[in-house]
């Protein structure tokens, strides 16, 4: 069986999930990897066969998406060419982690073997916690950015039958958890300078800030700035007092699994993160609508308060991969049987 694993690189969560799932897939089938997008600061730990520019949202420096830079990067001609040239017809199965090129290519070429395997797919379920008001434009983007009819989702809880709990890196599962005195912060949509103006006011508290804008480790007062990467971030996370991050999916999931105090700030104009914030709030996680000087008092109270939410997410990685493959084989077998029956039965012999 030939499988194409397609992953987009807007944010690091997709990359982290792909690292864990691809190594299991490679033990069961022949796997090629496709990646599109430009906004991940982590490198995939597997060889990539196809690289596309794709369709990326550019993070800003004051808590949201930079729509001007996003529009400047958008090239519709390149996008159409990439969709047209994407070799989805060479593969038996396409596993898609919210990757638009392979999804649209499969749609236009009428390939029915493209299945979602992403956090975003879970957000289409009616059973997950949601805001009372639904933004129709952002909901439309969520549904058609990477369109697939079938799929498997990930969320903080098993809200629906095809929703699994988060994939946690083996490194975090196997290491000792310590409770240090620093706060680990990962807020890629804020500049280093902006974060310094906020966290420096909490001068009695040490922070480890991981930033895509930091190229070399340095320290300013009570704040140590680090480039984003695997090892140092994992070490900081395992030994921290608490975590401050956007309400994406991977970092909050890791903090909850490790039993770390968690505070999340949804990225502005990011529909997915606002939906995640609703779910996290219901679980008892502290949510701030924005990060500014008015937030300092709230952060200080959060640091002093015992506010732990812990979930013992089981390692279901092999189970997830096996379910995807078994479902595909069953569907293929059923289609073959159905076609054989159709060919066997003569329409003239059918009794009406």
Q: What is the pLDDT of residue 269?
A: 80
Helix, coil or strand: residue 174: helix
Beta-ladder partners of 95: 5, 115
Nearest to 220 by CA among 244, 196, 188, 194: 196
Residue 63 CA: distances (Å) to CA of 57, 89, 269, 345: 13, 40, 9, 62
Contact call for residues 131 and 274 (beta carbons, < 8 A): yes
State the residue for tokens 């390939």: 111
d(CA 130, CA 278): 6
pLDDT of residue 308: 84
- The 3-state DSSP class for residue 37 equals coil
Q: pLDDT value at position 336?
A: 63
Residue linked to tokens 């804020």: 190
Report CA-CA distances (Å) from 58 to 43, 51, 185, 243, 336.
17, 18, 20, 24, 44
pLDDT tens per residue across all 352 residues of the chain: 999 999 998 878 899 999 999 999 999 999 999 999 876 778 899 999 999 998 877 777 777 777 777 788 788 999 999 999 999 999 999 999 999 999 999 999 999 999 999 999 999 999 999 887 777 887 888 899 999 999 999 999 999 999 999 999 998 998 999 989 999 999 999 999 999 999 999 999 999 999 999 999 999 999 999 999 889 999 999 999 999 999 999 999 999 999 999 999 999 888 899 999 999 999 999 999 999 999 999 999 999 987 789 999 999 999 999 999 999 999 888 776 555 444 444 444 443 3
| 222/303 Cα distance (integer angstroms) | 15
Under 8 Å between Cβ of 65 and 269 = yes
Distance CA 50, CA 34 (A): 5
d(C-alpha 165, C-alpha 287), whole Å: 21
Q: Which domains does the chain have, with CATH numbers?
A: 2-167+316-344 (3.40.50.2000), 170-304 (3.40.50.2000)
For 220-254, b where at least 16 C-beta lie within 10 A, e where not — what string?
A: eebbbbbebeeeebebbbbbbbbbbbbbbbbbbbb
Asked if residues 6 and 100 have their Cβ atoms less than 8 Å apart, the reply is no
């Amino acid at each position: 069986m030939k499988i194409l694993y397609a992953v987009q690189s807007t944010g690091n969560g997709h990359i982290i999930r792909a690292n864990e799932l691809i190594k299991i897939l490679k033990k069961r089938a022949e796997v090629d990897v496709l990646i599109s997008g430009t906004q991940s600061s982590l490198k995939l730990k597997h060889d990539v066969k196809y690289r596309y520019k794709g369709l990326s949202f550019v993070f800003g420096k004051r808590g949201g998406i930079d729509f001007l830079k996003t529009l400047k990067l958008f090239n519709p001609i390149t996008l159409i060419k990439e969709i047209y040239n994407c070799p989805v017809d060479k593969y038996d199965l396409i596993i898609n982690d919210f990757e638009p090129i392979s999804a649209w290519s499969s749609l236009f070429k009428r390939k029915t073997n493209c299945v979602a395997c992403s956090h975003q797919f879970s957000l289409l379920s009616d059973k997950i916690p949601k805001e009372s008001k639904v933004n129709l434009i952002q909901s439309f983007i969520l549904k058609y950015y990477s369109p697939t009819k079938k799929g498997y989702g990930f969320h903080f809880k098993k809200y629906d039958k095809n929703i699994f709990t988060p994939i946690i890196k083996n490194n975090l599962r196997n290491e000792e958890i310590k409770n240090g005195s620093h706060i680990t912060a990962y807020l890629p949509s804020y500049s280093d300078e902006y974060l310094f103006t906020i966290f420096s006011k909490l001068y009695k508290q040490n922070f480890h800030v991981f930033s895509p804008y930091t190229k070399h480790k340095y320290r300013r007062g009570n704040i140590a700035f680090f480039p984003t990467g695997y090892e140092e971030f994992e070490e900081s996370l395992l030994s921290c007092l608490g975590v401050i991050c956007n309400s994406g999916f991977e970092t909050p999931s890791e903090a909850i699994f490790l039993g770390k105090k968690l505070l999340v700030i949804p990225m502005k104009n990011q529909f997915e993160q606002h939906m995640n914030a609703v779910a996290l709030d219901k679980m008892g996680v502290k949510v701030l609508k924005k990060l500014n000087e008015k937030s300092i008092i709230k952060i200080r109270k959060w640091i002093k308060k015992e506010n732990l939410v812990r979930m013992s997410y089981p390692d279901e990685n092999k189970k997830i991969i096996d379910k995807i493959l078994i479902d595909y084989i069953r569907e293929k077998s059923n289609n073959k049987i159905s076609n054989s029956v159709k060919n066997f039965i003569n329409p003239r012999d059918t009794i009406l």
